[in-house]
Structure formats: structure tokens, C-alpha cells
């Protein structure tokens, strides 16, 4: 067992509008993302199933050609391999769960987030 405190997890600024804190376990990645209004996560896909739980703000997801606004208190499941994009409609905080763990993030292969 390992206990984490989000306040003690190092924050990584990916670009002027996006930062994240990440915990990797053997089979999952958990990320706390902070997006400023106007931030965009460009369209991408990955082998991971993703659950996004919006804690604050509002995000517009474009998933498989469909738009879905997700607000504080709501969660969204994104299946593996489905192209998706995110636009921050407000300053927002979201917890993203990924299974399996994000090997691309562990390798540092996440340039699409650093634009």
C-alpha cells in the first residue's frame, strides 16, 4: 500500500494553459489536470480506457465526432483507441483515470500536450 497526498505530488506545467500531477500504479495512471479557460488538448487517441471526472469548471469533449460538455460533478468514459479532443470552457480541474498505466507518459512521449 502507498498513500499519496495531491498537495505533495509535483506539478508539471505542460504549456501556459495546462498543468498536471500524476500518480502511476502498476496497472493505472491517475492524473489531476488543471486547465485554464481556452486551453486545448489536441485530438489524440491511446490504448488506455479513460475516465474523466470534472471537479471544477466545464470541459467540451469532442469524441468520435460528437460533442459533450462535462461539468463539475460529472464523469465521462472514453473507450480505448477513440480519437478525442478537449477544450476548457472555464478554468477547470479534472481527475483522469487511465487503464492500463500511461506508458507514453512514463516514457515522456506526450508532446501533443506540450503545444
Per-residue pLDDT of 42-64, as tens digits, reads: 999 999 999 999 999 999 999 98
**9: in domain:** no
Q: Is residue 3 part of a domain?
A: no
pTM, to two decimals: 0.92
- Proportion of the chain in helix, strand, coil states, percent, rounded to 5: 10, 50, 40
Residue range of the domain that includes 90: 17-114
CATH number at residue 41: 2.60.120.10
Query: In 3D, which of 28, 37, 13 has the Cα closest to residue 100?
Result: 28
Kindly tell me if the per-residue pLDDT of 115 is higher than 80.
Answer: no
Residue 2 lies in a domain: no
Q: Do 30 and 20 contact (CB within 8 A), yes or no?
A: no
Domain membership of residue 71 (yes or no) is yes
Q: Is residue 1 part of a domain?
A: no
Q: pLDDT of 7-38, one tens digit each?
A: 999 999 999 999 999 999 999 999 999 999 99
Model pLDDT for residues 82-99, shown as the tens digit of each residue: 999 999 999 999 999 999
| Residue 95: cis peptide before it, omega within 30 degrees of 0 | no
Q: How many domains does the chain have?
A: 1
Using an 8 Å Cβ cutoff, are 18 and 42 in contact? no
11: in domain: no
Amino acid at each position: 500500500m502507498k498513500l499519496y497526498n495531491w498537495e505533495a505530488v509535483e506539478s508539471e506545467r505542460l504549456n501556459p494553459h495546462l498543468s498536471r500531477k500524476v500518480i502511476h500504479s502498476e496497472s493505472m495512471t491517475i492524473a489531476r489536470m488543471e486547465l485554464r479557460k481556452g486551453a486545448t488538448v489536441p485530438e489524440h487517441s491511446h490504448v488506455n480506457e479513460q475516465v474523466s471526472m470534472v471537479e471544477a469548471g466545464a470541459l467540451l469533449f469532442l469524441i468520435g465526432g460528437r460533442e459533450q460538455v462535462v461539468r463539475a460533478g460529472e464523469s465521462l468514459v472514453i473507450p480505448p483507441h477513440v480519437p478525442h479532443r478537449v477544450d476548457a470552457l472555464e478554468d477547470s480541474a479534472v481527475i483522469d483515470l487511465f487503464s492500463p498505466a500511461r506508458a507514453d507518459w512514463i516514457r515522456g512521449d506526450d508532446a501533443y500536450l506540450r503545444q
